[in-house]
Amino acid sequence: MRGIVALVVLIVAVLISMPVLADTPIRLPDCVDALEQIVVLRMPVPVYIEEGRFHRDITASKRSSELARLTRITRLSCGKDPIVRGQQDIDAHQLYVARSPECRYMWGRYATMMTPGQGITREEIARHKAIMDEKCPATSLDHHWLIRDTGTVNDPDLVPATAPQ
């Protein structure tokens, strides 16, 4: 009987510690995340990954292996039903927009606007926030491949549409 109780206690302890393991930076993305990352990696532009405060560019060989890994994930985790898969594609596009250089610029600009002493009116902040709410939902950027900003993004009208055309 004590052996069974000890085994149950051990299993509970392992299960309680699992969320800590699940929070490790390297994890298998779900279908939508993998679809979005495939779009980013297939683009003929420089991409990088944010790891905390540091950026790491991708090499050509790493890009190929990442694409292969993400393709396997989509085969295993994406819906087979055309309606489900269509919704997953739409969600992936919205995630792509949210992680775009344009939306990252919008979030940076908003942070600057919220800094005291900037001389920005509440109306300007509200207008900017309304654009962000419509086009740039908050999302995690850490540990995802991102398109490098070339420094030319400064217009909120450049934010891509949130639904595929």
pTM passes above 0.85: no
Which is nearest to 143 in space by CA: 91, 66, 77?
Answer: 66
Question: In this predicted structure, what is the pLDDT of residue 93?
Answer: 92
- How many domains, in total, are found in the chain? 1
> E-strand spans in the chain?
47-51, 54-57, 145-147
pLDDT (tens, 9 = 90+) of the chain, 165 residues, equals 555 544 444 443 333 333 333 333 334 468 999 999 999 999 999 999 987 778 889 988 999 999 999 999 999 999 999 999 999 999 999 999 999 998 988 888 898 988 888 888 889 989 988 988 888 888 888 888 899 876 655 555 555 555 554
Contact predicate 48/146, CB 8 Å: yes
Residue 8 lies in a domain: no
Residue 4 lies in a domain: no
Cα angle vertex 29, ends 18, 140, to 5°? 90
Residue 114 lies in a domain: yes
Residue 65 lies in a domain: yes
